[in-house]
Chains A and B, each alone.
Chain A
Amino acid sequence: MTDSVSHKSTESELEARKIMRDTVKELRNSEKPLSGKKSTMNNTLKCVLVLALIAIVCVSLLAVANKFLKVEITLDKATSALINKIAPTGADDDTAFNNKYIEIVDLSKGGYAVTDLDAYNKTYGTSTQKVRALYTSKNANTGKVTLVVEAEGKGHVDAIVLLIAYDEENKISGVAVKSQSESYWDKLEGRQDVFDAFIGMSGNVTHLQIATSTGATNSLRGMADAASIANGFIARARGEAANKPVEETDEAKLSQLRKVSDANKFTRYTVGAAAVANAFVGDNGDVIVEARGDGGSYGKVTLMVRTESGKVVKVARVPGTDSFEPIGSHDSSVFRNDDTLNEIFAGKTLQELAGLPANGLAGTTGVTESGSGLIAAVKNALEYAASFEAETKGE
């Protein structure tokens, strides 16, 4: 018995070896075709031609198949039931689905400021953070329509897909998980507080705002990323980005703004990109950009940056948006002090930013991630402010 088994293994091994050896030999031969006779050259030509032809046929076959088999997200019963939980239609799941109280929005038909989701994701998303679909949920009793965004972010293993419902002020009113394949999901199972933490959020979200020490930090990061891109999308889709400035009324936002500007009132221009959430103009003409910087997993931070003619005037950290956890001896919590930040960044231009050492801000070492996150946030703010000022001046 031993013989027969080991014999078979060597047979398959030998076969594989033989195949590979032959190929190597052939590759060798085909390497020097010019030195050979004319017939060898013809042979080589034939090889190349046939191979190219097969490749072309296969690739075009796939291109055609891709056209027809491209995944389009449609509303299925399970998704409808989930949406009914976070944006109640007032009817039971079956009725809501059958009577089309819940529907998927075809953005290309208009009605929303975003008409092409692919293009949107190319501009504002990344390969692992994107908006997948927009749904409407109509309440059978009140007739009120709630918008629900389906967005994904990358967790520990794979994409986590969230369904997020929004109120009229583009704040999150409900969150449900559509799909995930996380290995430590059991640590979040039944944690209603985690999902409740999302309620009322807008702009960029970090995992620390949702929950701390759950044992599933990477899953939280994925959910925060999904919520961030969805938050930006809902504002843009409702056409509040750039073309519809509104007065900022949120007390929390106002108190952050007052840290960098003396103005009394602020007008908000929603940007909704992952890098820049909002731009604000004070009634005294101050321009403030709410920008996020990513320095790897441990250096995410959102800053309020007041700028004037290409220079930073004042900076303030938006509390709860950084991931500056002290890791071992690498303590980046020094950056949680706004005075320290202003010492580093006030008066800096884009060029001067490039010269800052990510690993040596404020005399710190070993916190490269946090340093580059901060620098990236200020850079994003300055870059956006430049185009923003040009736009508003042009008008």
Chain B
Amino acid sequence: MSIASIITIVISAILTDNIVLSKTLGICPLLGTSKKTDSAVGMGLAVTFVITVSSVVCYGLFKLLDFWNITYLQTIVFILVIASLVQLLDIVLKRFSPTLYNSLGIYLALITTNCTVLGSANMVIDYGYNLLETFVFGFFTGIGFTMVLILMSGIREKLNRTHIPKPFAGFPIALIIAGILAMAFGGFTGFAF
């Protein structure tokens, strides 16, 4: 693959077509785990790992489904792959790296129902990427997700110390912040090809 097309994927996955702010996926974890920077980092890393691995695995499986002409099983197969992967990871981490498990463990469990994972597995198929592009896309989609989570958590930690009108406290203000962030990210569209 040429450097140029890889760079295009990287930039669009992180900035111009950010999975949260432009494609509006992964909003539940955005609202749920962006109260503190620590948990944002933990969730982000766990998601990055799972997105990368599951995109690559789902890519391979889709080739098989396509070969057997049973692409209508895509949704079932993908979600099962993701669910098993998350649990496998959970077990492996718990056994071999308790420290990492303690920092990621709780977030891992929430990932199966995180739509960024299934979303990016589907996107890889829709976009017709090859294996390397799939890997790069998966990894940097995760990085883009992590970045937004960390940005949000920084702002929300500051907000804790300010006075917020009662009806806006909690989710509403978080959504409005996300909206403003999305507007800022909209500025990156100028870089698109």
Asked whether any CB of A lies within 8 Å of a CB of B in the complex, the reply is yes
Expressed in whole angstroms, the minimum distance between the Cβ of A29 and any Cβ of chain B is 12
A-B contact pairs, 19 of them (CB 8 A): A9-B32, A17-B109, A20-B110, A24-B90, A24-B91, A24-B109, A59-B76, A66-B72, A126-B128, A127-B66, A158-B126, A295-B2, A296-B1, A298-B2, A298-B4, A298-B5, A330-B2, A368-B2, A369-B4
Expressed in whole angstroms, the minimum distance between the Cβ of B101 and any Cβ of chain A is 11
Task: Give B71's nearest chain A residue, CB to CB.
Answer: A127
**Interface residues in chain A, defined as those with a beta carbon under 8 Å from any beta carbon in chain B:** 1-2, 5-6, 9, 13, 16-17, 19-21, 23-24, 27-28, 31, 58-59, 62-63, 65-66, 126-128, 154, 156, 158, 183-184, 217-218, 295-299, 327-328, 330, 366-369
Expressed in whole angstroms, the minimum distance between the Cβ of A222 and any Cβ of chain B is 10
Report the separation of the CA atoms of residues A65 and B70 in the bound assembly, to the nearest whole angstrom.
Answer: 12
Which residues of chain B come closer than 8 Å to A19, judged between CB atoms?
A: 109
Expressed in whole angstroms, the minimum distance between the Cβ of A6 and any Cβ of chain B is 6
Interface pair B128/A128, CB less than 8 Å apart? yes
Task: Give B80's nearest chain A residue, CB to CB.
Answer: A55
Tell whether B170 is near chain A: CB-to-CB under 8 Å. Answer: yes
Report the separation of the CA atoms of residues A127 and B64 in the bound assembly, to the nearest whole angstrom.
Answer: 13
Report the separation of the CA atoms of residues A29 and B185 in the bound assembly, to the nearest whole angstrom.
Answer: 46
Contacts A28-B91, A298-B2: A5 and B170 contacting too (C-beta < 8 A)? yes
The 6 closest A-B pairs by CB, nearest first: A20-B109, A5-B170, A369-B2, A128-B128, A2-B169, A1-B166
Which residues of chain A come closer than 8 Å to B167, judged between CB atoms?
A: 1
Which residues of chain A come closer than 8 Å to B91, judged between CB atoms?
A: 24, 27-28, 31
Interface pair B90/A369, CB less than 8 Å apart? no
Which residues of chain B from 131 to 156 have any CB-CB distance to chain A below 8 Å in the complex?
none
Q: Which of B31, B90, B127, B170 has the most CB of A within 10 A?
A: B170
Interface pair B32/A5, CB less than 8 Å apart? no
Interface pair B87/A24, CB less than 8 Å apart? yes
Task: Give A370's nearest chain B residue, CB to CB.
Answer: B2
Expressed in whole angstroms, the minimum distance between the Cβ of B2 and any Cβ of chain A is 4
Residue from the list A62, A295, A327 in contact with B73, Cβ < 8 A: A62
Interface pair A59/B2, CB less than 8 Å apart? no
Which residues of chain B come closer than 8 Å to A23, judged between CB atoms?
A: 87
What 1/0 flags go to B149-185 for Cβ under 8 Å of A? 0000000000000000011011100000000000000
Which residues of chain A come closer than 8 Å to B170, judged between CB atoms?
A: 1-2, 5-6, 9
Interface pair B166/A58, CB less than 8 Å apart? no
Report the separation of the CA atoms of residues A392 and B176 in the bound assembly, to the nearest whole angstrom.
Answer: 70
Which residues of chain A come closer than 8 Å to B127, judged between CB atoms?
A: 154
Report the separation of the CA atoms of residues A300 and B10 in the bound assembly, to the nearest whole angstrom.
Answer: 22
Tell whether B102 is near chain A: CB-to-CB under 8 Å. Answer: no
Contacts A16-B113, A21-B109, A128-B128: A183 and B2 contacting too (C-beta < 8 A)? no
Expressed in whole angstroms, the minimum distance between the Cβ of B21 and any Cβ of chain A is 15
Expressed in whole angstroms, the minimum distance between the Cβ of A363 and any Cβ of chain B is 18
Interface pair A9/B171, CB less than 8 Å apart? yes
Which residues of chain A come closer than 8 Å to B171, judged between CB atoms?
A: 5, 9
Interface pair B76/A369, CB less than 8 Å apart? no
Contacts A9-B170, A21-B109, A24-B87: A297 and B5 contacting too (C-beta < 8 A)? yes
Report the separation of the CA atoms of residues A1 and B66 in the bound assembly, to the nearest whole angstrom.
Answer: 51
> Knowing that A298-B4, A330-B3 are A-B contacts, what are 16 other residue pairs whose CB atoms are under 8 Å apart, sorted by A's residue number?
A1-B167, A2-B169, A9-B32, A21-B109, A24-B90, A24-B91, A27-B87, A28-B91, A58-B76, A127-B125, A154-B128, A156-B193, A158-B126, A330-B2, A369-B1, A369-B5
